[in-house]
Copies of this chain bind each other. A is one copy, B any other.
Amino acid sequence: MPSSYPLESGMNASVIAIGDELVSGHIVDTNSAWLSNALGDIGINVVGHRCVPDRVELIAEQLQQCAQVADVLVVTGGLGPTADDVTRAGLAWAMGEELMEDGAAFEEIVARYAARGIRIPDENRVQALRPASAVIIPNPDGTAPGLQAWLGAAGGAAVFVMPGVPAEMTSMWHRSVVPAIREMRQAKGGGDGDVESAEQVIVTQLVRCIGVPESRVGKLLRDLMERGANPTVGTLPQDSVVTCRVRGVGAAGVIEPQVEAVAAEIERRLGSHVLGRGMVTPAEAIVKRLTAGGLTLVTAESCTGGLVGAALTSVPGSSACYAGGWQTYSNEMKIDCLGVDVQTLREHGAVSGLVADQMVLGALEKSGADLGLAITGVAGPDGGTEHKPVGTVYIALGVVDEDGKPSTMVRRFAFPAGADPVRSRESVRQRATTAALGMCFLHLVSDVGELPGWLTWEHRPAVESG
């Protein structure tokens, strides 16, 4: 489904995440990406994100800067009870107001503690503070209420402050912030009644594909990607997946079919490599095709340790096609659970095409599934050798035919090992996971494809050295 939203209110939003732990890189800010998607869903264009430290004057300054370019400021974090939670004070400073205690909010917090048979801790009292003209947003999921305020006079921005805890934030977003924005917008729309701009919309479609290098995608779509075109087409590679983004701006009812036509043309050119529309993942595309075909899949993972199964089971409804798998991290588990041959392990090592092959055959036999994936490799930082450096991964795809006979395809990949050992380990594991899912997807759509890092493939692995 295309995301299409009206621009009648001309609304732009800035997303601001507050917290030293974000600015210092101790944790990754995922709230802002979530909120951007959520703002897009209700037709608001996001002009940027910022992460700001827990410092009153910096928070105030950034809020004021953003209020000059955006109609809505969506702020998360810094509402907790501890001394480093100063978002309330930063907002008050930006508004030129004092903080005061909100009687009703204080009662609410007291009641919340009383229900658990305890007195409100002194430090939690600050959570009932708000700038004088701000309004408290109730938080039934936690002790930190949100805040709604107005920054600047007419032409200023509406500010919504939510807790940084993702579950509390998403709940408050749906329950309180979306209705408040809708109300604001209706009031605004009714006020200026700008009919011409009310018909302008932005429409976005994503087409994702796997097994085609980005440069080839760029070549295939070159005429569609010309700068200044409307709709515009952009591409973004991530592991083996390339996302093509089609974005059109124009009159409602006119631009939608234009965007759809370009998206359909992209699908036509990329053919069987298309995973689907929207941010569809390789796992989602596989689950959809397996379920439609009444097929089952099992996994046997060594270096990925469960990432392939975790990706598959992240898809709702995956139990219809994913039976499960084995995380055979030790050699003993490979031997005992999957019947890998001791001699093969000794002669070729656990990281070898023959072991990947035996792992997938064992998994198919034990489970009775239709398809199997096995992954064994050197994720690093240690364990690399001259012939099998860090990043060497063997992936086997096993398929059972109508007569119940399995055949396998084993590919050897050489994923780049980065400069940072921990990030490199996770990168190799992640790339191996996507490549395994890619091999399965390309088999399901009867295409071999080109997966990054791919070196060789064989239907039955020959005896190798190393």
CB distance from A239 to the nearest CB of B (A): 10
A28-53 contacts to B (CB < 8 Å)? 28-30, 32-38, 40, 46-53
With a cutoff of 8 Å between Cβ atoms, the chain B residues found around residue A426 in the complex are 314
Cross-chain contact B83 with A225 (CB below 8 angstroms): yes
Q: How large is the interface on A (under 10, 10 to 19, 20 to 34, 35 or more residues)?
A: 35 or more
A232 within 8 A of B: yes
Q: A231 → chain B, closest Cβ, in Å?
A: 12
Stretch in A163-171, A261-269, A440-448 touching the partner = A163-171
Chain B residues positioned under 8 Å from A323 (CB to CB):
329-330, 332-333
Whether the pair A310, B306 counts as a contact (CB closer than 8 A) is: yes
Closest chain-B Cβ to A103's Cβ sits at a distance in Å of: 23
Does the CB pair A314–B227 fall under 8 Å? no
A324–B328 contact, CB under 8 A?
yes
27 A-B contact pairs sorted by A residue (CB < 8 Å): A21-B236, A22-B33, A23-B48, A24-B204, A25-B34, A26-B243, A27-B33, A49-B51, A54-B234, A81-B215, A81-B218, A82-B218, A83-B226, A121-B219, A124-B215, A166-B423, A167-B427, A170-B420, A174-B420, A305-B310, A306-B308, A306-B325, A307-B310, A316-B421, A318-B329, A324-B328, A326-B327
Per-residue interface assignment for chain A, residues 298 to 337, with 1 indicating a CB less than 8 Å from any chain B CB and 0 otherwise: 0101011111111011101111001111111110110011
**In-complex Cβ contact of A329 among B33, B36, B48, B324 (8 A):** B324
Given the interface pairs A24-B46, A48-B62, A236-B21, the reply to whether A419 lies near B84 with Cβ below 8 Å is no
Residues facing B in A189-241 (CB within 8 A) are 204, 206, 214-215, 218-219, 222, 225-227, 232, 234-238
CA distance A381 to B314 in the complex (A): 11
Chain B minimum-CB-distance residue to A425: B316
Q: Please determine whether B238 and A27 come into contact, CB atoms closer than 8 angstroms.
A: yes
Beta-carbon nearest neighbor of A234 in chain B: B84
CA distance A382 to B166 in the complex (A): 21
Q: Does A175 contact B (CB under 8 A)?
A: yes
Interface residues of A (CB under 8 A from B): 19-30, 32-38, 40, 46-54, 58, 62, 65, 80-84, 121, 123-124, 141, 165-167, 170-171, 173-175, 204, 206, 214-215, 218-219, 222, 225-227, 232, 234-238, 243, 245, 247, 279, 299, 301, 303-310, 312-314, 316-319, 322-330, 332-333, 336-337, 366-367, 379-382, 416, 418-423, 425-427, 429
Partner of A25, one of B35, B65, B215, B234: B35
Tell which of B32, B306, B418, B422 touches A306, judged by Cβ atoms closer than 8 Å. Answer: B306
Partner of A167, one of B58, B214, B318, B418: B418
Give the residues in chain B near A325, CB-CB below 8 Å: 306, 326-327, 329
Q: How far is the CB of A101 from chain B (nearest CB, A)?
A: 18
A124 contacts across to B, CB distance below 8 A: 215
User: Complex formed: what's the CA distance from A445 to B215 in Å?
Assistant: 53
